[in-house]
Amino acid sequence: MSSSRNVNSKNSLLKWLPWILLLIVIAAFVWLFTSMRTPSEATWEPPRAQPIEQTASPILDTPVPVSSYHDAVARASQSVVNIYTTQTMAEHPYIDDPVLRRFFENQGDQQGPAATNLGSGVIVSADGYIVTNAHVVEKADEITVAFSDGSKSRAKVIGTDPDSDLAVIRVDITGLTPLGFREEPIRVGDLALAIGNPFGVGQTVTQGIISATGRTGLGVNKFEDFIQTDAAINPGNSGGALVDARGELVGINTVIFSRSGGSMGIGFAIPTALVEQVMNALIKDGRVSRGWLGIEIQSQLRDPTQLETTTGVEVLSVVPQGPAAKSGLQIGDVILTIDGVEMTDANTLIQYVARKPPNTALKTQILRRGKNAEVEIVLEERPVQEAVQRPVAMQQEGLGGINPHLQDNGDTPMMSEAERDRMREELMKLFEQDAAAQ
């Protein structure tokens, strides 16, 4: 019985085996056919751009989108003050003339009250020191400082530095809130907020970006290293604060480029690096001592159409017994680097040397008759030089703006005796004609 069952099982297996094998073969054909059709029927997609890697340095001014800079402004504005100065107008030299006096009476009182100017300033210490522009307090007989809380105080000048257009004044108040200086260098594209008192309307905030840094050669100050911004700066903003998105000071607003007296989106501020140097010197010594080479220089001529450009500063003349002369520097030498810093133009050299104190030794790489050489120059103190005449296009802020067609040198025009007698005769004729007409 058992043997017959085994025979039947084998017969059943052999009977179904061909069908099983057929199903396996069919399944294999189906899989092969499907795998061959998939690539040709796949949907085409354009190549995808790879994600841009984020820079390692954090973006300090724009970490996340913001809808308000209230916190930064609130932090900075309590340290920004309005400055009002008064200057007594000089009496006209011919005001006592009995004939000419009548002319002045017809034209209005020429003496009148003291002229009032306005500007802004930044508190830099809790014990009353305030930084502003030198032209804000220039020739001022009286200085009044108005704080953000509405209180006011008289101020005295600690020191001025017309070469950089910075000044330090002080009020007899303690417990003030100084504005913190930004430690990181400002960058083009960073947010900028200008805080000041434009046109005397009161403390105002305007917003923009940093348009450029290291602007020189404007002819505004002797020592220039301006921050350029498109944050609106108007008359009255002089001496005010330029801050970043965190409310930290990056510069002191100084000058605007304007053909109308108002903002045209080109304003300039003195960076905090220069402010700190001048401020500390004025507070400590009442004056700023700068390094001096004793040479006349010019930038190497550059042809913008040439692919190869020449950098360096050529020495045009050397002051006898000056620092450069003592070091052996000669006319015709081209200064390439100072302390390893490339001197790309004359302004770069002037700014670099001016920030060094006297008695500083500078290692200078020069090009002399086609050969490289090195000289060591020990700086001396820069002598006092004549004031810089500011161009009309660069207007510093004053009360009510500036008329670019009028330039006042501060002197009353004087007439000769013959001109004075002739004016008397003409005025007498006018008075007689007026009397006859009446």
Which residues are tagged catalytic?
135, 165, 238
The closest alpha carbon to 161, from 222, 226, 240, 218, belongs to 222
Nearest residue to 262 (alpha-carbon basis) of 199, 334, 339 = 199
CA angle 374, 378, 384 (to 5 degrees): 130
DSSP per-residue letters across 93-104: TTTT-HHHHHHH
* DSSP class per residue in 134-179: HHHHTT-SEEEEE-TTS-EEEEEEEEEETTTTEEEEEES--S--PP
All residues at 6 or more sequence positions from 190 whose CB lies less than 8 Å from its CB, including other chains: 60, 61, 209, 210, 244, 245
Which amino acid, 399?
L
| Contact criterion met (CB below 8 Å) for 179 and 76 | yes
Alpha-carbon separation of residue 70 from 82, 182, 250 (angstroms) = 20, 18, 18
Q: How far apart are CA 139 and CA 148, in angstroms?
A: 25
Contact 375, 328 (CB under 8 A): yes
